[in-house]
Chains A and B, each alone.
Chain A
C-alpha cells in the first residue's frame, strides 16, 4: 500500500507545474482542498435557507394564523394577508428536513471534512480520483439548484414530509406539492445520491490505497476511521433510496403500482392495484436510518480528534472507539424497522427491531464514556472547537437517552410522530452533528483558509447557541408526551392542547435567538477569510499529518516528499518527552515503546 504512495509522488510533482486559470482553480477544481471549501460554502448557504424556513414555521406554531409581515414578504402568494397557508407550512417542514439532513449534514459535513482531511491525514497527494471528486461536487451543486428551484413551482414545493411516503407524495390530487414540486424533489435527490456515491467510492478507495508509508489502519486518526465507515454505509444504503425514488417516479409518471393500491380520491377510483406503501417505507428507512449515522459518525470522528488535541491527552480506548464505530455501522443497517412499529407490518418484526435498536445504545454508551474519560485529568484548552465538542457530547447524551423510549415498540405506540420524536432526533443527530460541524470548522479553518477564526466571537457563538439548543428542544419532549402530533399547522382545533401554547411560544423565542446568533458565526466565517489573523503551521499543536503541510495550499499537499509515519496519532503528553505532543512523522526515540491502544 505504501509503495503506491511513493509512485504517486512523482506524478504529483509533474502536476504541480500545471498552470492554473481562475476556472480550474476556483470553479472546476480537482484539488481536494478546494472541493472541500466548495462543499462547505454551498452547505453553509443551504443551511442558512434551511434555518430560515424552520424559523418561519416555528413562528406559525407559536402564533398560529396570525398575520406576520415576514411571511407576507418571504412567502408572497402563500401568505395572503400575511397569514401562512396550511400547504406551505407542510412544504416548509418538508424542505427544511430535506435540506438539513441531506444537503447540510450529509454533503456539507461529510463532503467538507472527508475531502479536506482524508488526503491530508493519511499522507496522500490528493484523492484517488480528482476528476470524480469534482464531478461529485458539481452533481451536488446541481441537485441544490434543483431543490431550491422546486420552491418556486406554481403549485408549491414537495410537502409530504421529508420521508415522502406515498400515496401522498405520489398523487398530485392529494396535495398541491405532489405535482411538479415532488418531481423536482425526486430528481434532485437522485442526482444527490449519484453525487454522494461518487464521493463515497472515492473516500473508500483513497483510504485503502493511498496511505503513506507507516500509516497502518491502526495508526489512522479516528476522523479517517469515521469517514471511511461512513462512506461504506453510504455505498450500502444510498442505492436503496435511489431505487425507491425511481420506483416512485414510475408510479407517478408511468402508471405502475409499486406503492399504490385501491385508491379512491376526489370522487374517482384510481387504477392502481397490488402495490404497498409499506414497501416504500421499508426501502426509505433502509437508507433513512443509516442516514442518521452517515450524519453523526463524521461528527463523532471530528469530535474525537478535537477532544484529544485540546485535552492534550490520547483519545481514551482508541480500539474500543473503532470497534464501536464498526458496531454502530453494522447495527445501523438492521434497525430501520423502528420507524415502522405502527406501520401495519407484522408485530413480530417490531419485536426484532426493538431488540436490534436497543443494542445500539451499547456502542453509543461506550463512545460517550470514552469521551468523558478522555477529558478526565486532561489539560483542557478551551478553544471554540473544544467547546463545541463538549457540547456535542452533552447533546448526544441528552438526545440519545430518549432513544431508549422510542426504540421500545411498546412505548413508541404513544409517542410515535409526536413532538417527542422531534426533540429526540434534533438533539441526537441535528444539533449534535451541527456542533460536530462547527467544531470541525473552528478547528480546521486555519488549514482551509490559512487564517484563524476570531475566538471571542466563537465563544459568544457557542454559549448562546448551546443555551438556545436546550431551550428549544428540551421542553419539546414534554409537549410530545402530552400527545401533541408533529406536522400540525395549528393546534387551535384541539382545545386539549391549549395549555401547551405558552410552551410553544417559549420554544419559538429560543429558536429565533438561536437563529440570530448564527449571524455572528457567519460574520466570523466570511470576514476571517480576508481579515483573520494569519495562521501558523500548527496552531493547535496537533500530531496529525495535515499540520505538517504549508499554510499556503499547494497542489500535492507536501512540497517535498510525503512524510512517513512512525506512530499513532494520539501521542499527547507522552511520558519521557519534553513537549506535550509528538507528530506522527517523528520517529520513535531509541528505546521508546510505541504505546498504542
Chain B
C-alpha cells in the first residue's frame, strides 16, 4: 500500500512540475513568437556565460579549500610514494592552469561575441601557424609527462629481488583477506585451490608435502616491518579482487588462476603516522563527525559508534559481490623487533592443521 501511495505521490510531483512548465510555456505566448534566439536572448545568455565561468571557478576553489585537504594524498607511507605524489602534483598544477585558461577563453568569447543583428562574423577558416602551435605545445608537455610517468612506473613495478624482499602472499576470497608469510626461509610453499581442505583447516590450499610450506604462517592481519621491501604475491580463490593500499600508493588485482605481484617498501610505522599532525587533525575531525552521528543513533536506541583510530588499510577495489563494500584487512607497520615478536606468536602451517 505504501508502495502504491509513494508511486502516486511521485507521479503527482511529476505532473505538478509538468503543469507548472506548461503554465510557463503558455504564459509566453505573445511575448515572443519566434523560437530562434533574438538579440535579447543573446545578451542574456552572454552574461550567463560569464556567470557560469564564475561558477566553475567558485566550485573549483570550494572543492580545493573544503575537500582538497587530503592527508592521504600528501603523506605517503612507502618509499616510492613521494615520487608518485610529486608526479601527481605536477599533473594537477598543469591541469589546473590549462583548465583555468581554456574555460576562460571559451566562456569569455561566448560572452564577448554574442550575436547582434547586422553584425557580421569574421570569415576565419584556417591558420596553419596557430594550429601548429597548439599541436606542438601539447606534444612537448605530454612528452615530458610521459617520460616522467614511465620512469616512475618502471621504478615501481620492478622489484629488485637482490634486496632480499620479504615475500608475503595476499590471498583474496569473498569477502575477506588472508596474508601468508614464508616463515624462516622466506619462501612460500606451493599452493593451489584444489588442495583446499576445510576439514583439516588447510584453507589456502597449501601443498602439505612441500617442505617450504611447513613453516608458512597464515594471518588475518598484515604486519610489515618498516624499511624492508615487501614483495606481495597475490592470489584469489573465487572472483577478481583488487588489493588496494592507498596509503602506500599500491594496488594490484588478484586474479583466480594466476599469481600477480606488487612490491613496495613501507617507510612510516603505524605509530609514527598516528603522530603525524595532518593525521591527528583528520582523525579528530572524523571523531567529531562520529560523535555527532552517535548522538542520533543513541536517540534512536541504537549503539554508539566506536572511536576511530588511524590504521593503514587494505581494501578490495574490484567489484566482487554482495559484501564487496566491507572486504578489508588492517595493515600494521612496525619496527623489526615488534614484527619479530608478533611473528613468534603466530602458528606455523604444519602446526595449524587439524589431523
Seen from chain A, the residues whose Cβ lies within 8 Å of a Cβ on chain B are: 69-70, 72-74, 76, 86-87, 90, 160-161, 165-168, 171, 174-176, 260-265, 267, 269, 273-278, 311-320, 342-344, 347, 350-351, 354-355, 358-359, 361-362, 365-366, 368-373, 375-383, 386-387, 390, 393-394, 397-398, 401-402, 404-405, 408-411, 413-414, 416-418, 452-457, 459, 463, 466-467, 470-471, 474-475, 477-479, 481-483, 485, 487-491, 493-496, 498-499, 501, 503, 516, 519-520, 523-524, 527, 532-533, 539-540, 570, 572-575, 580, 595-597
14 extra interchain contacts, Cβ-Cβ under 8 A, other than A347-B157, A380-B46, A498-B290? A70-B6, A262-B257, A375-B110, A377-B113, A377-B121, A382-B44, A404-B95, A404-B142, A405-B95, A411-B87, A474-B63, A495-B308, A573-B120, A595-B125
Give the CA-CA distance A111 to B174 in the complex, in Å: 41
B319→A90 contact, CB < 8 A? yes
B91→A404 contact, CB < 8 A? yes
B17→A344 contact, CB < 8 A? no
Give the CA-CA distance A532 to B35 in the complex, in Å: 9
Q: Which residues of A contact B324 (CB under 8 A)?
A: 90, 487-489
B121→A313 contact, CB < 8 A? yes
Q: Which residues of B contact A481 (CB under 8 A)?
A: 70, 72-73
Interface bits B83-99 vs A (CB < 8 Å: 1, else 0): 11001100110110011
- Looking at B34, B66, B322, the one whose CB has the most chain A CB atoms below 10 A away is B322
Q: Which residues of B contact A520 (CB under 8 A)?
A: 17, 21
B227 an interface residue at 8 Å Cβ cutoff? no
Given that A90-B324, A277-B256 are known contacts, is A174 also in contact with B244, CB under 8 Å in the complex?
A: no
Residue among A70, A160, A466 making CB contact with B319, cutoff 8 Å: A160
Q: How far is the CB of A479 from chain B (nearest CB, A)?
A: 7
Q: How far is the CB of B309 from chain A (nearest CB, A)?
A: 9
Residue among B3, B55, B139, B152 making CB contact with A410, cutoff 8 Å: B152
B326→A316 contact, CB < 8 A? no
Given that A174-B174, A318-B125 are known contacts, is A455 also in contact with B37, CB under 8 Å in the complex?
A: yes
Given that A262-B194, A394-B103, A488-B325 are known contacts, is A499 also in contact with B286, CB under 8 Å in the complex?
A: yes
- Looking at B83, B98, B115, B123, the one whose CB has the most chain A CB atoms below 10 A away is B123
A263→B131 contact, CB < 8 A? no
Q: Which residues of A contact B228 (CB under 8 A)?
A: none
A379→B36 contact, CB < 8 A? no
Considering the complex, give the chain A residue whose CB is closest to the CB of B62.
Answer: A475
Spot the interface stretch: B162-170, B209-217, B235-243, B266-274: B235-243
Considering the complex, give the chain B residue whose CB is closest to the CB of A540.
Answer: B36
A411→B138 contact, CB < 8 A? no
Given that A74-B7, A362-B138, A382-B37 are known contacts, is A494 also in contact with B113, CB under 8 Å in the complex?
A: no
Residue among A167, A354, A372, A416 making CB contact with B317, cutoff 8 Å: A416
B325→A459 contact, CB < 8 A? no
Q: Which residues of A contact B127 (CB under 8 A)?
A: 316-317
A265→B238 contact, CB < 8 A? yes
Spot the interface stretch: B179-187, B247-255, B333-341, B342-350: B247-255
Q: How far is the CB of A192 from chain B (nearest CB, A)?
A: 22
Give the CA-CA distance A387 to B44 in the complex, in Å: 12
A347→B154 contact, CB < 8 A? yes
A490→B325 contact, CB < 8 A? yes
Q: Which residues of B contact A596 (CB under 8 A)?
A: 125
The contact sample of 24 A-B pairs, CB cut-off 8 A, is A264-B237, A265-B238, A312-B120, A313-B121, A317-B125, A317-B127, A369-B131, A372-B105, A372-B106, A382-B115, A383-B36, A408-B91, A418-B317, A454-B25, A457-B21, A479-B67, A485-B315, A489-B325, A520-B17, A523-B17, A524-B21, A533-B33, A574-B123, A595-B123
Q: Which residues of B contact A483 (CB under 8 A)?
A: 72, 244, 246, 315
B41 an interface residue at 8 Å Cβ cutoff? yes
* Count of chain B residues with a beta carbon within 8 Å of a chain A beta carbon: 135
Interface residues of B in 30-82 (CB under 8 A from A): 33-37, 41-42, 44-46, 48-49, 52, 55-56, 59-60, 63, 66-68, 70, 72-73
Considering the complex, give the chain B residue whose CB is closest to the CB of A491.
Answer: B325
Q: How far is the CB of A161 from chain B (nearest CB, A)?
A: 5
Q: How far is the CB of A478 from chain B (nearest CB, A)?
A: 4
Interface residues of B in 142-165 (CB under 8 A from A): 142, 145-146, 149-150, 152-154, 156-158
Interface bits B1-35 vs A (CB < 8 Å: 1, else 0): 01111110010001001100110110010000111
Q: Which residues of A contact B157 (CB under 8 A)?
A: 347, 350
Considering the complex, give the chain B residue whose CB is closest to the CB of A261.
Answer: B257
A167→B106 contact, CB < 8 A? no
Q: Which residues of A contact B119 (CB under 8 A)?
A: 379
A527→B22 contact, CB < 8 A? yes
B178 an interface residue at 8 Å Cβ cutoff? no
Q: How far is the CB of A170 from chain B (nearest CB, A)?
A: 9
B99→A376 contact, CB < 8 A? no
Considering the complex, give the chain B residue whose CB is closest to the CB of A461.
Answer: B21
Give the CA-CA distance A377 to B120 in the complex, in Å: 9
A342→B126 contact, CB < 8 A? no
B328 an interface residue at 8 Å Cβ cutoff? yes
Q: Which residues of B contact A390 (CB under 8 A)?
A: 49, 106-107, 110
Residue among B42, B98, B321 making CB contact with A401, cutoff 8 Å: B98
Considering the complex, give the chain B residue whose CB is closest to the CB of A320.
Answer: B131
Q: How far is the CB of B217 from chain A (nearest CB, A)?
A: 21
A87→B109 contact, CB < 8 A? no
Q: Which residues of A contact B244 (CB under 8 A)?
A: 416-417, 483, 485
B70→A414 contact, CB < 8 A? no
Give the CA-CA distance A494 to B98 in the complex, in Å: 35
A408→B194 contact, CB < 8 A? no
Q: Which residues of A contact B48 (CB under 8 A)?
A: 463
Q: How far is the CB of B10 from chain A (nearest CB, A)?
A: 7
Given that A175-B322, A495-B290, A574-B123 are known contacts, is A264 also in contact with B193, CB under 8 Å in the complex?
A: yes
Give the CA-CA distance A382 to B44 in the complex, in Å: 9
Give the CA-CA distance A397 to B104 in the complex, in Å: 12
